[in-house]
Amino acid sequence: MSNKIIRIILLGSMILLGLTMVLPLWDIAIFAPQYPEGLSLQIWLSKISGDLNNINILNHYVGMKAISPSDIPELVYFPKLIMGILALGALALLWPHIISVGLYFLSFSAFSLFALYDFWKWEYDYGHNLSPDAPIKVPGMSYQPPLFGSETLLNISIYSYPAVGGWLMMVSFLAVAYILYVKARELWR
């Protein structure tokens, strides 16, 4: 594969990764009999949007902590990590060598794994650390939303799936992985 094509693919992956800074990554949708129109949360790299207040009001009945974006440091440092990964991507673009591509890939994978774990951890924390003063206590019940997929908690159905930014990030990641594979194969020969 020519360096030109490799560079185009690398540039494409960087553009897609860059777009995740301004697009929602994950969508959480909530439906209940009283919410026919649904409630939703969009998780972005740097913010949380959607019906945050209404979800917090519902959550307080079972003693869940209020989701408050100012208490989530990831919303500040995740965008910086993405910038760092993009810097390594730029290096690979200028010098498309297995070392630079490898660094780009490794940093991207490390971030992705950590981000997924971190997201799960927050969900676990919200779902399990319930206030002892909760007005409604259901023995044995926890309220952790799913990371990927759907679940029914009491009268509420929750759907959690990647949003457009999340899908773009995956495509970007696959593109980098492919280039790494191409480079590794070249080296093998």
Residues forming contacts to another protein in the complex (CB under 8 A) are: 37, 51, 53-54, 57, 61, 135-136
Contact of 157 with 149, CB cutoff 8 Å: no
Residue 57 or 94: the one with the smaller Cβ distance to another protein is 57
Distance of CA 162 to the CA centre of its chain: 7
Residue 37 or 189: the one with the smaller Cβ distance to another protein is 37
Three-state DSSP class for 35?
strand
Residue 62 C-beta: closest distance to another protein, Å:
11
Residue 75 or 134: the one with the smaller Cβ distance to another protein is 134
Residue 54 or 77: the one with the smaller Cβ distance to another protein is 54
Residue 35 or 159: the one with the smaller Cβ distance to another protein is 35
Strands (DSSP E) contained in the chain are 26-32, 35-43, 48-50, 149-153, 156-162
Residue 129 or 155: the one with the smaller Cβ distance to another protein is 155
Residue 47 C-beta: closest distance to another protein, Å:
17
Query: What span, in angstroms and rounded, lies between the C-alpha atoms of 171 and 177?
Result: 10
Q: Which residues are paired to 30 by β-bridges?
A: 39, 158
Give me 92's structure tokens.
Answer: 């690979």
Query: In three state form, how does the secondary structure of 106-158 look?
Result: HHHHHHHHHHHHHHHHHHHHHHHCCCCCCCCCCCCCCCCCCCCEEEEECCEEE
